[in-house]
Amino acid sequence: MKKVVVGMSGGVDSSVAAYLLQKEGYEVIGLFMRNWDSTLNNDNLGNPNLNNDICPQEQDYNDAKKVCEELNIPLHRVDFIKEYWDNVFSYFLEELKKGRTPNPDLMCNKYIKFDVFIKEARKLGADYIATGHYARTYGNRLLRGIDQNKDQSYFLAQLTPNQLKDVLFPIGGLTKPEVRKIAEEINITTAHKKDSTGICFIGERHYQEFISNYLKPNPGDIVDVETKEVIGKHTGLMNYTIGQRRNVGISGNDKRHFVCGKDVEKNILYVCFGEDNEYLYSDACLIENVNFISPTTPTFCTAKFRYRGEDHAVAIEYLENDMAMVSYSGMAKAVTPGQACVLYLGEQCLGSGIIKEVYKNNEKLWYL
């Protein structure tokens, strides 16, 4: 009997994944990862985390434990707090300092869930590793999940073929409603548990308040990118992302305004007015840390510039130092430095790069 170690998150997706594997005849073992110290963690200034009562991590562990009891499978618990801090959270902070909008989920998958987790699973004798991601594999290929609203291949696009070896995605061929239905039919504890949203280590905390524990707020001017007039004050560039409309900090103006750029050196937040404003659009971007899961490196394919974003037809010019220039067929809106540019060929996820610079008409956008 083959042994599968399942990453149990305390949610319905990993619960159903474990059940389906058990039903298929595997010997299933649960493994819960504790990646964030919600009770003892101090920030890098030595200040305690005052919101530890909000973090749901312990409740997630209790739910995972209950599910494993219901399925009659063992559950192990492992701490990856140091690894998470070094490889995910520190990266997150450094990217914010650069004025970029990082995606910590990509780094968590790359360095935690499909690296140190796999090593820990091997210690438990795993023949296979499984997670509750909405994605699929076919041979050494990574495919989108069947459920277009839940597809998580985007977050797996910095993995290597070796990391995906012996990995199973039991719910990748199901929709979320189908997963919920299975959970209800077997009357499992997490059947009606609400999905977690947002950035995992922030949880239900107020984002700006949480970040201020680690990065000192640095207020500055909000400038109209077209008139160059100062029209407001921002609370710190790390609190905003490209394309953002709400909570920007402009009062007394009825026109819809959007964040369209940042100048870290001058501490300026640029905004434009109107959702179709030309300053929100680009036709190319430079990506770094280019990583391919596929053995082929295509010249033409499609790309997503953010999770749940639309697919754009692109042409790719490969450069030195794991960089590439990605040109779009038509304009794309709010392409954001720090986010992932994930490449697809139909259902197959080819790989990704991290957006470094954004261009229009062969010129780097001066305000971004």
Which residues are known catalytic residues?
A: 108, 200
- Backbone phi, then psi, for 60, in 5-degree steps? -60, -40
Cα distances from 229 to residues 18, 223, 237, 264, in angstroms, run 57, 5, 18, 18
Q: What is d(CA 96, CA 102) in angstroms, rounded to the nearest whole number? A: 7
Q: What is d(CA 179, CA 9) in angstroms, rounded to the nearest whole number? A: 15
Cα distances from 349 to residues 13, 172, 252, 320, in angstroms, run 21, 14, 45, 22
Distance of CA 367 to the CA centre of its chain: 25
Q: What is d(CA 353, CA 159) in angstroms, rounded to the nearest whole number? A: 11
Taking residue 19's Cβ as centre, other Cβ atoms within 10 Å add up to 23
In the three-class reduction of DSSP (H, G, I as helix; E, B as strand; rest coil), residue 148 is classed as coil
Half-sphere exposure of residue 189: CA atoms within 13 angstroms, side-chain side: 18
Closest residue by Cα to residue 99 from 261, 289, 332: 261
Please, which residues have CB within 8 angstroms of residue 141's CB and are 6 or more apart in sequence?
293, 294, 348
Q: What is d(CA 276, CA 297) in angstroms, rounded to the nearest whole number? A: 33
